[in-house]
Structure formats: C-alpha cells, structure tokens
Amino acid sequence: MPSFEELTTKERPTWCPGCGDWGILTALKKALVEINAEPTKTVVVAGIGCSGHLPQWINTFGFHSLHGRALPVAQAIKLSNHELNVIAVGGDGDGYGIGMGHFIHAMRRNVNVKYIVHDNQIYGLTTGQASPTSEKGFKTKSTPHGLIEEPVNPIALALATDCSFVARGFAGDVPHLVKLIVQAINHKGFALIDVLQPCVTFNYLNTFEYFYRRIYKLEESGHDTSNKEIAFQKAFEWGEKIPIGLFYKKERKTYEDELPQISKEPLIKQKIDNVDISQLIEEFC
C-alpha cells in the first residue's frame, strides 16, 4: 500500500509559499496512506483555479476538468466504476460560483464521491477578485467599493440539501483535516469538506491568524453530529467563533445502491463486444 512518498510527485506544486493548498494536499495524501488507498484505484478530479492543479501533484489517476465541473466528471467516474475511490477537489469560486448547480444536485444525488473545497474566500488564480464566500464589504480588485452581496454559506446549503456528510476543515490544522478526510472516505455517500484555506497573496482579511484566533473543534464541544437542527445552528456560527469538524452525518442509500444495472458488477466490467439487440429490432417490426 502507498507510502506518503509514493503519492508525492517529482514535480513540486507551484502554489505560493505558505498557501493553504499545501496543507490540503498533505492532508489528502496522509489520509490516503491511512486508509490504504491503492493509487491506481484512486481518481482525483478537479475543476479550475489554484485548487484545480492539485491532481497534478499527487500520484494517483487524475482528471483536471473545466471550471466548476469537477463534480459531474467525478460522479460519472464513480458510477462507471464504483470500485474506484473518487475524490473531487474544488475551490469556492469553482464549486460555489460557476459550479454551484452541480454542487447542490450532487448532494441530493448522493453518489459516493468525496468533495474537498479549497475555500479561500477569494479568486486566487485570476489575481484577487471577490468570490461567492467573500465577506460582505470585502474590498477586492473587482469590488473596490466593497462587496455588496452576502456570502454563500456552504455548510447551511449542504444541510438544506440533505448532504449525507457535512464537515469543515482548516488548512492550518493538517492532523485534524486528515481525520476529517479519513472519516469522509469511510462514510458511504457524498461527503462535503469545506476547507478554510487562507490565500496568503490576495486575501488580507481571512488569514491564518484570523482563523487561529477563532476556530474551535465541534468534536471537543460535545456536538451531536446526528442532530440536523443543531448542525444548522452551528452552520450560522461565524465571527468571533468559527466551528470546524463534522457538522452532520446521516446514513442513506447512495445513488449507485439504487441501480440494478451495477448491482452485480461495475459498468466497466460488463462486456460490450456483442450486445444482442435482436429483441429490440423485433419490437419495431
């Protein structure tokens, strides 16, 4: 089974020194080591943005898709071969902006895919514009007079969409994030981990220090992860105190559980050399 080194590519990431993305990549690799994931049976799918480069720097199969589109690609990979370990990564602009529609439908669909969102509350790769999770009043290149809109609340949205695993991590606490990713992978169903991931170049507000002073761990505060109402309350806690950890978890059937087409074997293993359509032809005669 893989060692951390085996999962590490020869090429080094091109992320800014100190970027939260490094912590996420490290945590993902550590989690894969911990669960004994076979690299060839693991697919990391990404969209576009700084997060989008992640598959390039982990030795597994990878699919770097278009902006906001990691989830439809990832879900189809899982449905085509449900023996694979499929992890989608995205960003706040990528997943909660242009890809928002896919995000909501992926949660209600509950395909067994894990979704790790690099949430830095800013557009990094396009050099610093407001993102869907930027705070109201935030001044950026595209909002020099301050952002007018309210931020998206991905945790509350996930709860409202009956996401079966809703968590928030912090790129500055890798051991905690490793635990969350391991839990998410072991959970049977769609899992969201929104990761607070400071952008050290463009986000002057939501810095590592900003989060260090505010975050606390839900599991240390006696939080009941089966209680949706309390999870909702926690989802709206943002300001002096910011909770991280598992908000809510629920066992429900995955999308693939409901498909008789793949109850015996994955789609990919089914022979297609000589599909007999004589019965269909007869139907039209």
Partner 1 sequence: MTEFSWKIGGEAGYGIMTSGLIFGKAFVKSGLFAFDTNEYPSLIRGGHNTYTVRVCDEPIFSHSKKIDILVALTKLAVEKHKDEISENGFIIFDQSVFSVSNEEVRDDINLVPIPLTEIATKSGGQAIMRNNVAIGASFALVDYNFEHLVDTINGIFGGKKGEDIAKTNINVAREGYNYVERNFPKFLRSIKISAKKFAKRMYIIGNEAISLGAIRAGCKFYSAYPMTPASSILHFLSSKENDYNIIVKQTEDEIAAIHMAIGASFAGVRSMTGTSGGGFSLMTEALGLAALTETPLVVVLAQRPGPSTGMPTHTEQGDLKFAINASNGEFPRVVVAPGDANECFYETFNAFNIAEKYQIPVIVLTDKFLAESHSTIDPFLSKQLKIDRGMLLTDEKAKQIKDYKRYENTATGVSYRSIPSQIAMFKAATDEHDEYGRLSEEQSDRITQMDKRFRKFKVLESEIDGIKIYGDDDADITIISWGSTKGPILEAMKIFAKKGVKVCFIQVLYLMPFPTTKMKLLIEKRKNKIIIENNKTAQLASLIKEHTGMDIDYKILKYDGRPFTPEDIYEKIDEVLTFAKL
Q: Which residues bind partner 1 (CB under 8 A)?
A: 11, 39-41, 43, 45, 48, 53, 55-56, 59-66, 69, 72-77, 79-81, 83-84, 101-102, 104-105, 259-262, 267-268, 270, 272-275, 277-281, 284-285
Rounded to whole angstroms, the Cα distance separating 147 from 143 reads 5
158 vs 174 by CB, closer to partner 1:
158
The CB-of-175 to partner 1 minimum distance in angstroms stands at 28
148 vs 280 by CB, closer to partner 1:
280
Contact between residue 61 and residue 43 where contact means Cβ atoms under 8 Å apart: yes
43 vs 192 by CB, closer to partner 1:
43
The CB-of-41 to partner 1 minimum distance in angstroms stands at 5
Q: Which residues pair with 85 in a beta bridge?
A: 42
67 vs 249 by CB, closer to partner 1:
67
Rounded to whole angstroms, the Cα distance separating 171 from 196 reads 6
In the 8-state DSSP scheme, what is residue 267? G
Structure tokens at 2: 């893989």
Strands 215-217 vs 85-91: parallel, antiparallel or unpaired: unpaired
17 vs 260 by CB, closer to partner 1:
260
The CB-of-85 to partner 1 minimum distance in angstroms stands at 9
Core vs surface per residue 221-250: b (16+ CB within 10 A) or e: eebebeebeebeebbeeeeeebbbbbbbbb
The CB-of-231 to partner 1 minimum distance in angstroms stands at 25
3-class secondary-structure state, position 190: coil
The CB-of-44 to partner 1 minimum distance in angstroms stands at 8
